[in-house]
């Protein structure tokens, strides 16, 4: 690939990671952390596989990025995720000092980046994240709908 990668390019990678979660029987959510043009951490939902309630895609991507950088503070990075983060993940993003959040589908039931709650831009917290939702929203939402309709 030549040229500068876009939010859409990175979200396509997040969708690929969501496919890994789905292959494991997990809710298909994928996430990656980018610094500049470089992917420094990736994750996909694995709470069932890892028997860990915190093993959401965002948390695993943050852990991988922190290990790559040797620091838990991830200032200047962007996290891409296929579904709006839940409160746990949104709080982790704030604590990690992620600069920017880009997500695909909105989560009106438990989304914490503007839908049900808004932790990422709260003035009550010591860090705010530049947030942009709706990138490849149709594709991200379709993956989730397919997954849940196959289980009903």
Q: Which sequence positions are flagged as catalytic? A: 58
Per-residue tokens: 53: 């309630």
> How far apart, in whole angstroms, are the C-alpha atoms of residue 64 and residue 71?
11
> How far apart, in whole angstroms, are the C-alpha atoms of residue 35 and residue 75?
9
> How far apart, in whole angstroms, are the C-alpha atoms of residue 78 and residue 61?
11
**Region label for 31, one of left (φ > 0), alpha (ψ between -120 and 50) or beta (otherwise):** beta
- Please give the torsion angle defined by the CA atoms of residues 122, 127, 130 and 131, in that order, rounded to the nearest 10 degrees: -50
Contacts for 123 with CB less than 8 Å, ≥ 6 apart: none
Compute CA 72 distance to the chain's CA centroid, rounded to the nearest angstrom.
17
Phi, psi of 132 (to 5 degrees): -140, 120
């Amino acid at each position: 690939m030549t040229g500068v990668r876009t939010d859409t390019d990175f979200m396509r990678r997040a969708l690929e990671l969501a496919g890994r979660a789905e292959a494991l029987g997990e809710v298909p959510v994928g996430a990656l952390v980018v610094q500049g043009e470089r992917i420094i951490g990736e994750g996909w939902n694995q709470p069932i596989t890892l028997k860990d309630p915190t093993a959401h895609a965002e948390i695993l991507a943050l852990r991988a990025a922190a290990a790559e950088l040797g620091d838990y503070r991830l200032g200047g990075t962007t996290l891409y995720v296929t579904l709006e983060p839940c409160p746990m993940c949104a709080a982790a993003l704030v604590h990690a000092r992620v600069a920017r959040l880009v997500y695909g589908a909105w989560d009106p039931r438990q989304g914490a980046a503007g839908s049900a709650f808004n932790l990422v831009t709260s003035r009550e917290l010591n860090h705010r994240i530049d947030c942009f939702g709706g990138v490849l929203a149709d594709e991200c939402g379709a993956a989730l709908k397919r997954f849940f309709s196959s289980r009903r």
